[in-house]
Amino acid sequence: MFKVQVIIKRRPSILDPQGKAVEKGAFNMGLTNIKDTRIGKFVEFAVEAVNKEEAVKEIEEYCHKLLSNPIMEDYEYTMEEVL
């Protein structure tokens, strides 16, 4: 089994209105030194696979088709085999 951690971020050229909104809330609460907030996703899961190649195939498909929006997001992941 492999444990996988994925970070999904909007591409730098894509605006992040959620980040802007949260940052404005922070400013209004007196946290005036926070800049450039961008909010992405962090996903953890496990894959049952016979070898690393099979696991990578499944991970890539999961990330590409379900976890991220390939039009405007990029993902990166780390994986670790657990016995």
Distances (CA, A) of 25 to 14, 39, 41: 21, 14, 20
Residue 56 near a second copy by CB under 8 A: no
Question: Tokens for 8?
Answer: 């999904």
Residue 20 near a second copy by CB under 8 A: no
Residue 79 near a second copy by CB under 8 A: no
CB 54 within 8 A of CB 1: no
Residue 15 near a second copy by CB under 8 A: no
The rounded Cα 7 to chain-centroid distance in angstroms is 3
Q: Could you say which of 20, 45, 73, 79 contacts a second copy (CB under 8 A)? A: 45
Q: Report the residue number, 19 or 71, with the smaller CB distance to a second copy.
A: 19
